Structures are given as C-alpha cells and as structure tokens.
C-alpha cells in the first residue's frame, strides 16, 4: 500500500482508504478511480491524502469498475451547507426553546437590576445564552421563531431584545454567516436596548408622539447601551449592534449620524430586525402590526434608511407568513403557522384549532399546505380579536410541552 496526495491520484488507481481530509467524509466502498471527474469529486469533498494499492492499478484494457463514492456528510456538516435543515421537529425543540426564552427573561431582569444598582453587568451568561439560541436555531429555528410571537403587552422591553436576538440569529444563519460571528450578533442584539433602563419611564412608555426634547432623551439610550457594554468589557460587533442600530443609510439616524459605508452589514441587519419587531409587537397602547404591513413600511424606507438587498433577504428568510402568525385557510379553519416551508413560502405548516365558519374551537390538526394532497390554501392573516380567540391559552395547551 502507498499513501499519496490527492494531486498524485490518477485515473485507473485503486483507492483503499482516506488517510487525510478537511472534513469527515468516509469512502463507502473501495475501488478504482476511472476518470478525472471522479478525482475532482474526491478533491471537492475535501480529501487530501489517500491510500492506494499499486498492484491493482488498471490499464486501459482492464474492465470498468465502480469508483469509490464519498458518503454524505454527517448532519453537523450538512447544516453548514443547508441552513434550513431541521435536525429536530418543532415539537421536539419547543421545550428546549421555551427554557432558553425564559432564561433570557431572567437574565435581562437581573441585568436591569445590576445597572440600577450601579453594578457592571456580567457579559458571560449573555454569550452563553446567545450560543444556546444558535444551537436551538440550527436544530429547528421554527421553535424559537414561534416563541417570538408569544408577546405580553406589558413586557415589551424584555421581550423585544430577546426577539431581535432570535431573529438576528435566524437571519444571519440564512445569510451563511459563520457561527462565531452569529453568536456575537445575537449577544449584541440581546443587549442592544439595555441603555433604555436609564431612560425615564414617562418618556420610555409614553403612548403618544414624543416632543423634540423627549425624543432627544430617548435617543440617548443607544449611547447608554454602548457605554454599558464597553464598561462590562464587551467590544467589537456586539457593541456596534447596541450603539449603532438606529443609524440610517442617509445619515439621518442617531446617535452619530453615520451614513452609507460607515454602517456595516451587521448593523444594517440589526436596524431592519429591530424595526420589524417593534412594528409587529403588541404593546399596552398599540396593537401589533401584521408582518406584511411591517415589511411594506421597511420597503418604503429603502434605500434612504434601510439596505434594500438585505431587506429582501430578510423577508425571504422570515417568510410572508412568519412562524407564529395566526392565519385563516380557504376552508375557514383558523390556526397558527408552526413550520416554515422555505421553498414554498406561501405554503407553510399550519396548526388549526378554530372554525371561523362555526365560531367555535375544533380538534387540533396539523395541515401542510405544501402537501400535494392538501386542497386548503392560506387565505389571509387574522388577529385573535377577530374571533375572540384566547391565543395564550392555546399556546399553553397545544404548543408548549
């Protein structure tokens, strides 16, 4: 047996095994490499060195024999190529996702308490939580995406940062950004509004339009967020997300009036996600906007405020009918979008539980609108108030384990 580099491999050689590679490829059968195309296939799979049997090298007169074939990469590697791979079902992942979401709320509350008491916040738990978010997103992003829709009107400050963090993770995964960078992005998003704890309540929770002086006070929260994170020892991307997410491409944002190329891709992403979640959030003094209306407002802000190309990719990522959206089908069944179908975004999986025709709750049923046997189609998005639906009760009884 001889060990040679992949560059020395020639058609007709018999491959015994792989001895060095960049990935985790395994040769599922030994055999002859008959063509240059077969060699190129092995190179593309990350093979660097192979063991050959020189006694079995073929001549042109010898019979054609199947070349060695790389087996598919394990799931850990497939995830890097296919960001939509779901390792777990939504039901399997929901319990883990809910635990992470609750931990995030507790962590936020502790950080607010530390800041009010004049203490620096501990960044390490936020990084660990951001990493946990990413693990959950890569197992099945629909679980955490669904939880971003379970809003409490009086918990906006807590939930908004958590939701932005989750959506940033999903968006960054969709764009194929490296995992280490995604963790920095989600950490920054978790803490992007931490400076609001220094904003007076009468300004922070004012239901009407802010006066010019009040708006200046509100703008300071981005500076406070940046300062708090820097004092806690955080640097780089996460600090940029916290301090610059209100900057706009035309220079009319705050607090530094940066514009154009002064605003990184990561900050541009954060500005889109931040506004989207704010528009769709339920608050004490306003109802949440339907996602499609929020997308329209964001579109109207291109290219002056937002990056149009990134916005298009965000819409593709989240979907016209995001997971957690309440929808009505052509059969008059009402239910929640519980799983995305990225290849057919208008045909998600819907968990129905209510009949709009008969105004009553029905047996829970999962309907995959992308299934060719399904005659139902998604007719429109609806609000719980349209049918007096207690959505929180449904979440607890039918969605959460």
Residue 80 lies in a domain: no
* 401 pLDDT higher than 90: no
120 and 250 within one domain: yes
314: which 2 tokens? 């965000």
391: which 2 tokens? 């959505």
* 294 pLDDT higher than 90: yes
**Chosen domain end from 255, 288, 318:** 318
- Among 13-17, 360-364, 392-396, which range has the highest average pLDDT? 360-364
* 84 pLDDT higher than 70: no
CATH of the domain at 137: 1.10.3210.10
Q: List the one residue out of 301, 300, 346 whose CA is nearest residue 325.
A: 346
10 pLDDT band, cuts 50/70/90, is confident
pLDDT computed for residue 67 by the predictor: 44
200 and 139 within one domain: yes
Residues 101, 104, 109, 110, CA torsion sign: positive
pLDDT one-digit tens code per residue, 21-42: 776 555 545 677 778 877 888 8
pLDDT computed for residue 205 by the predictor: 84
pLDDT computed for residue 80 by the predictor: 42
Range of the domain at 341: 326-399
Residue 134 lies in a domain: yes
252 and 172 within one domain: yes
d(CA 303, CA 298): 10
Instruction: Kindly give, in sequence order, each residue whose CB lies less than 8 Å from that of residue 323, ignoring residues fewer than 6 positions away.
Output: 142, 145, 146, 149, 337, 338, 339, 340, 348
Helix (H, G, I), strand (E, B) or coil at 286: strand
Instruction: Give the alpha-carbon dihedral of 190, 195, 196, 197, to 10 degrees.
Output: 100
pLDDT computed for residue 47 by the predictor: 83
213 and 237 within one domain: yes
* 11 pLDDT higher than 70: yes
d(CA 336, CA 145): 12
344 and 278 within one domain: no
Instruction: Kindly give, in sequence order, each residue whose CB lies less than 8 Å from that of residue 384, ignoring residues fewer than 6 positions away.
Output: 326, 390, 391
The answer to which of 67-71, 168-172, 308-312, 354-358 has the lowest mean pLDDT is 67-71
Residue 196 lies in a domain: yes
pLDDT computed for residue 369 by the predictor: 95
248 and 151 within one domain: yes
pLDDT one-digit tens code per residue, 249-279: 999 999 999 999 999 999 999 999 999 999 9
Say if residues 243 and 226 touch (Cβ distance below 8 Å): yes
231 pLDDT band, cuts 50/70/90, is very high
Say if residues 126 and 242 touch (Cβ distance below 8 Å): no
46 φ/ψ sector (left φ>0, alpha ψ -120 to 50, else beta) = left
pLDDT one-digit tens code per residue, 135-149: 999 999 999 999 998
Residue 239 lies in a domain: yes
* 60 pLDDT higher than 50: no
Q: List the one residue out of 400, 397, 317, 327 whose CA is nearest residue 367.
A: 327
336 and 273 within one domain: no
Q: List the one residue out of 141, 120, 127, 129 whose CA is nearest residue 102.
A: 129
* 103 pLDDT higher than 70: yes
Q: How far is CA 362 from CA 325, 358, 366, in A?
A: 18, 10, 12
* 63 pLDDT higher than 60: no
pLDDT computed for residue 92 by the predictor: 83
For the chain, percent of residues with pLDDT exceeding 70: 88
Is 0.85 surpassed by the pTM of this model?
A: no
**Chosen domain end from 254, 288, 318:** 318
* 113 pLDDT higher than 50: yes
Say if residues 338 and 142 touch (Cβ distance below 8 Å): yes
Residue 84 lies in a domain: no
Q: How far is CA 216 from CA 135, 199, 212, 213, 223, in A?
A: 39, 11, 6, 5, 11
- Among 39-43, 135-139, 242-246, 319-323, which range has the highest average pLDDT? 242-246
pLDDT computed for residue 64 by the predictor: 42
- How many structural domains compose the chain? 3
Residue 82 lies in a domain: no
For the chain, percent of residues with pLDDT exceeding 90: 61
- Tokens 């003094």 belong to residue: 285
Say if residues 282 and 262 touch (Cβ distance below 8 Å): no
* 333 pLDDT higher than 90: yes
d(CA 306, CA 300): 9
Task: Give the distance, in angstroms, between the CA of residue 3 and the centroid of all CA atoms in the same chain.
Answer: 43
**Chosen domain end from 296, 318, 340:** 318
Q: What is the mean pLDDT of the chain?
A: 86
363 and 244 within one domain: no
pLDDT computed for residue 25 by the predictor: 57
d(CA 186, CA 133): 8
304 and 368 within one domain: no
283 and 138 within one domain: yes
78 pLDDT band, cuts 50/70/90, is very low
Higher-pLDDT residue of 239, 92? 239
Higher-pLDDT residue of 313, 154? 313
183 and 55 within one domain: no
267 and 167 within one domain: yes
- Tokens 């002086």 belong to residue: 213
* 115 pLDDT higher than 70: yes
List beta partners, residue 349: 339, 368
pLDDT computed for residue 241 by the predictor: 97
pLDDT one-digit tens code per residue, 165-215: 999 999 999 999 999 999 999 999 999 999 999 999 899 988 888 999 999
- Among 12-26, 28-42, 48-62, 120-134, which range has the highest average pLDDT? 120-134
Residue 83 lies in a domain: no
Higher-pLDDT residue of 396, 211? 211
Say if residues 306 and 268 touch (Cβ distance below 8 Å): yes
Residue 305 lies in a domain: yes
């Amino acid at each position: 047996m001889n060990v040679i580099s992949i560059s020395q491999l020639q058609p007709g050689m018999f491959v015994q095994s792989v001895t060095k590679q960049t990935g985790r490829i395994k040769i599922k059968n030994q055999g002859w490499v008959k063509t240059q195309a077969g060699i190129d296939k092995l190179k593309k799979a990350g093979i660097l060195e192979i063991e050959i049997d020189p006694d079995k090298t073929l001549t042109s007169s010898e019979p054609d024999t199947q070349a060695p074939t790389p087996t598919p990469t394990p799931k850990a590697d497939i995830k890097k190529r296919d960001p939509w791979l779901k390792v777990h079902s939504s039901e399997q992942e929901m319990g883990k996702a809910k635990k992470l979401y609750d931990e995030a709320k507790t962590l936020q509350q502790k950080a607010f308490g530390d800041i009010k008491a004049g203490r620096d916040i501990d960044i390490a738990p936020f990084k660990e939580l951001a990493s946990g978010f990413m693990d959950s997103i890569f197992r099945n992003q629909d679980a955490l995406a669904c939880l971003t829709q379970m809003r409490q009107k009086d918990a906006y400050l807590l939930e908004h940062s958590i939701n932005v963090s989750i959506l940033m993770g999903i968006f960054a995964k969709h764009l194929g950004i490296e995992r280490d960078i995604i963790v920095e992005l989600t950490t920054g998003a978790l803490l992007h509004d931490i400076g609001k704890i220094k904003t007076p309540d009468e300004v922070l929770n004012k239901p009407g339009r802010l006066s010019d002086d009040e708006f200046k006070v509100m703008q300071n929260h981005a500076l406070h967020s940046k300062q708090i994170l820097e004092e806690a020892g955080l640097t780089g991307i996460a600090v940029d997300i916290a301090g610059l997410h209100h900057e706009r491409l035309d220079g009319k944002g705050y607090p530094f009036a940066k514009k154009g190329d002064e605003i990184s891709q990561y900050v541009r992403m954060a500005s889109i996600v931040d506004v989207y979640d704010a528009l769709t959030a339920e608050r004490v003094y306003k109802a949440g906007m339907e996602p499609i209306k929020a997308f329209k407002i964001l579109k109207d802000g291109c290219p002056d405020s937002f990056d149009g190309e990134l916005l298009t990719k965000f819409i593709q990522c989240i979907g016209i009918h995001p997971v957690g959206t309440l929808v009505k089908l052509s059969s008059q069944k009402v239910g929640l979008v519980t799983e995305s179908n990225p290849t057919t975004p208008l045909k998600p999986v819907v968990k129905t539980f209510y009949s709009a025709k008969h105004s009553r709750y029905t047996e829970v049923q999962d309907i995959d609108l992308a299934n060719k046997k399904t005659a139902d189609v998604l007719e429109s998005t609806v609000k719980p108030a349209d049918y007096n639906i207690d959505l929180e009760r449904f979440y607890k009884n039918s969605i959460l384990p």
